[in-house]
Amino acid sequence: MLQRLGLPFSCISPNIEEARQANEAPLDLARRLARAKAQRIASLHVEDWVIGSDQVAVLGETDSDPQILGKPGNSSNCIRQLEESSDRTVVFLTAVAVLRHADRAAFEFVDTTRVRFRRLERETIARYVALESPLDCAGGFKSEGLGISLCESIESTDPTALVGLPLIRLAAALRVAGFQLP
């Protein structure tokens, strides 16, 4: 997705444990993981701007007893998650941290996207999972692919956020950091 901004970059895995802490709210989890990822790499590349991001999918509203839908990992978990999402709203919280260790500069933000799933039959879900295999995606679907057909609506201020990186606000942060973007 960063290629769309036309800036040179490299990708480095921060190897951060992504487990939720006890009683951690979904918003806090997304922010903590985005920041931790960026901090880990920024400490190794102190003069570079580093972008860390993380996305948390929450079934229903995010305030009372949230049910986090992680990366399903296998087909049966994916099918179960999509069955639970059928005819319901899933809130995707995409947190981004842009850091430079050398001068302790930082920009952080969270995009909230609400996806309303249409009523899904088990056969529809199984067919989708077999075709697209979205096992490594929070919530178990890919809006940038065939998963869009599972949706009734998507509410967001940034259509790229659901794919994992809100480029509108990221571009704004990078411009403030001194990058030339149109």
Residues annotated catalytic, as ranges: 54
88: left (phi over 0), alpha (psi -120 to 50) or beta: beta
Q: Which of 55, 84, 60 is nearest to 71 (CA)?
A: 55
* Residues facing residue 108 across a β-bridge: 97
Q: Which of 174, 141, 128, 179 is nearest to 55 (CA)?
A: 141
Q: How far apart are CA 138 and CA 113, in angstroms?
A: 13
* SS3 of 129-173: HHHHCCCCCCCCCCCCCHHHHHEEEEECCCCCHHHCCCHHHHHHH
Pairing of strands 67-69, 89-100: unpaired
DSSP secondary structure code for residue 6 in this structure: T
